[in-house]
Amino acid sequence: MAPDFLELAKAQSCLDLNREPQDYTWSAYYQRTVDEAGRSIAIAPLKSFVSENLQKLRLGFGSAPLSKAVAELMQPLVAEHSLALFNAVAVTAHQTAPIVGYIGGNAATLLVNHDKFALSTKNLAHTVLQGADLTNANLRDVNLTEADLSQVTFTQAFGTVLCCAFHPNGHLFATGEASGSIHLWSVLDFQKCSTLKAHGDWVRSLAFNADGSILVSTSSDQTIKLWDIRTETCIHTLTSHSNRVYAVEIAPNDQVFATCSADQSIKIWDFKTGNCLQTLLDHRDIVWAVAFSSDSKTLVSSSRDRTIKLWNWQTGDCTKTLEGHPNRVNFVGMVAHGNTLVSTGDQIIQLWDLQTGDCLRSLEGHTGKILRSSISCDGGLLASSSNDHTIRIWDLQTGDCLRVLEQHSDIIRAVAFHPDGKFLLSGSDDQTIRLWEVESGDCVMTRFGQISAINDITISPDGNYLVNTNDDATISLWDLSQNKYLQTFQQHTRRVWSVAISPDGKTLVSASSDRTIKICDFATGECMRTLQHPSSVFGVAISPDGKKMLSSASDLLVLLWDLDTGACLREVQKRGHMSESCAVQLSNHLIAASAQTQVRLWDINTGEHLSTLTGHTGSIWAIAIAPNEQWIATGSFDQTIKIWDTHTGNLQLTLQGHRDRVRAIAVSPDGLLIASAGDDAEIRLWDVQTGDCQQILVGHQNRHPRVTISS
């Protein structure tokens, strides 16, 4: 587009609303007309765009890729003129880039910015999409055969961002995600520089040392890793913690760093050698966060036990305990060059006098739990992110909320100030990373990740249909007999984690981060009933007789429901602390639910707790009950499948062979085979009697969310 296009487009806000709307060509609409004084002359409102000579269109609309500002300016026009835009794409078929320029690419950009499904199922073979920005596009079943895709920007794959950190020079930042990967990004263009295959579970926190040469990462896999940024190699793996490692903080002196864990301990490490110098024990529950004072002599920690503790880390002594939060304290930070301590818990932020231990002020405004916070380098501002989908920026001197950032559409788990304090980085479950200008509150950069990552798959009882759930709050239906996509259901407002179909094939049940379970008519997709949960719902399962349903949530709450009436029959497992997984399964007589590395069994009729299965060393993500209910199989992040006797709770077999986390298992209808799928992109078939692996199926390039054996 010509350099002066933005000004020309803005001029068209000068409309004569008393005149009848009329048709325009693209060029005519964006041609400025002025009077003798140089003032823009109001034009008649736009009725519709009409066809135009391709060469003339190329010189205007197609002369250069649309800038972000121009694309946003034109969005109000797109809804009424999407057909004209699609025709602008179609007209480029069998043309060349020198002839059509950026016409097709710019039209495609506008279409998908307005509706990410705008190009889905379309035939774009041989078109010229030069310069299109398709980072927000759902390209399901799009035919791009021999299309010109030069300069096209596609989604750069990344998953749920759990943490982020800026390099001290401000030119680079790192993000950690649920897959265990760490991505390094350029701040200038928001492009991914490299990926570190870092951990075997969620990456919980990241921190650069003072000169930016070393990156420290912690994970739910119980390890801490130190990375050489120049060579992108791991130089230390530290394994002293016995549970998830939630946070890392490097001391200002750059000589030591601290980590805290679900094992209720804090460890101090020598930065050069990787040796553990001190273990601090006084908290009575998970330790969520740690922070050093500016002189590196005092360490502060916060815990689920509702306390904040101050430590002389060199002696190991707890010098002070602060109480005042009604629930867990999930963040603590020191204000640079001052005596103020900042803590967050649930929806409240509290400021403390470090010397006296007095609470100076409480800041309120969030309507959901505060998940992450960051203090600017000068100590003047605090940014807090929440599961209410907002970020709030606070003045720590006055306690005022300066602005609320609201463009994320899901839980915001990561937030960090740029070293210069002018920008803020955030990462969310909506699969986006955003860069914000602190002063204005404007989002200046956005990078989209796996827009429609598949979370769960199931097959209808008759074997004719496949259903999958997606991160974009949709459920997709496929015809297996014709290998054809049929339709998309959208009943949820956030990520859909799990789906199940009743044995008679008439009812579809889905679980979502929007805290609901939807019971739908499988034939029409119509929602018949909505069941509420107090937190994100991770899993659903239906009993073989189709009468009962089981649900599991992110807080480990497991509920038993009457599928016909939607009535909650029983609270099987009470709410606990937040978890990455809570797999559930049920038969006509048994209920099974995981809690981290254990599985509990109950009698479905009486609610009696029968046994607890203990033996895995990693989180359990998959459960399958044998058709005869004599044994149960579990799949874990420890890369194993275990088979247990349901009557005694004894371990019968451990199946080993997967080279990465096991996410899904299924039992054949005759109970003789187990199928397992994992992050090693392998499906394995196992003999239940001997434990032998009979076959390995390889073909996928990424993890398998689900595996099913049909009858």
SS (H, E, C) 480-492: CCCCEEEEEECCC
Total residues found in the chain within this entry? 711
**Is the pLDDT assigned to residue 266 strictly greater than 50?**
yes
Closest to 683 in 3D by CA, of 626, 622, 632: 622
Q: How many CA atoms lie within 13 A of 92 on its CB side?
A: 33
Strand order across the 401-405 sheet? 370-375, 381-386, 391-395, 401-405
- Report d(CA 557, CA 572) in Å as an integer: 8
Q: What is the mean pLDDT of residues 9-29?
A: 63
**Are 180 and 198 contacting, i.e. CB atoms less than 8 angstroms apart?**
yes
- Report d(CA 598, CA 334) in Å as an integer: 37
DSSP-assigned beta bridge partners for residue 639: none
**Are 237 and 217 contacting, i.e. CB atoms less than 8 angstroms apart?**
no
Q: What residue has token string 């041989």?
A: 126
Query: What does the DSSP 8-state code read for residue 293?
Result: -
Max avg pLDDT among 87-91, 128-132, 579-583, 643-647: 643-647
pLDDT value for 49? 57
Q: What is the mean pLDDT of residues 194-213?
A: 92
Range(s) of the chain covered by CATH 2.130.10.10 = 243-364, 498-518+533-698
Averaged pLDDT of the chain: 84
Report the number of secondary-structure helices (H) and strands (E) in the chain: 7, 54
**Is the pLDDT assigned to residue 450 strictly greater than 70?**
no
- Report d(CA 266, CA 248) in Å as an integer: 10
Buried b (16+ CB within 10 A) or exposed e, 122-135: bebeebbbbbbbbb
**Is the pLDDT assigned to residue 10 strictly greater than 50?**
no
**Are 269 and 238 contacting, i.e. CB atoms less than 8 angstroms apart?**
yes
Q: Considering the domain 243-364, what is its CATH architecture?
A: 7 Propeller (2.130)
pLDDT value for 5? 35
pLDDT tens, position by position, 287-346: 999 999 999 999 999 999 999 999 999 999 999 999 989 888 999 999 877 789 999 988
How large is the angle between the packed helices 103-114 and 68-78, nearest 10 degrees? Answer: 70
Q: Which of 350-354, 513-517, 535-539, 552-556 has the lowest mean pLDDT?
A: 552-556
Which band of pLDDT confidence, cut at 50, 70 and 90, is reported for residue 74?
A: low
Please provide the CATH number assigned to the domain covering 498-518+533-698: 2.130.10.10
pLDDT tens, position by position, 470-529: 777 888 888 877 767 788 888 898 888 888 999 999 999 999 988 999 999 998 889 999
- Report d(CA 178, CA 51) in Å as an integer: 48
Q: What kind and span of H or E run contains 67? A: none
| Structure token pair of residue 537 | 């719902």
Q: What is the mean pLDDT of residues 172-195?
A: 89
- Report d(CA 388, CA 494) in Å as an integer: 12
Cβ-proximal residues to 440 (8 Å cutoff; 6+ apart), any chain:
none
Buried b (16+ CB within 10 A) or exposed e, 318-328: beeebebbeeb
* CA torsion angle 420 428 584 181 (round to 10): -60
- Report d(CA 54, CA 347) in Å as an integer: 57
Q: 10 Å Cβ neighbour count for 115?
A: 15
Q: Is 605 helix (H, G, I), strand (E, B) or coil?
A: coil
Closest to 374 in 3D by CA, of 404, 354, 345, 344: 344
pLDDT tens, position by position, 214-253: 999 999 889 999 999 999 999 999 999 998 999 999 999 9
Q: What residue has token string 């694309």?
A: 71
pLDDT value for 102? 85
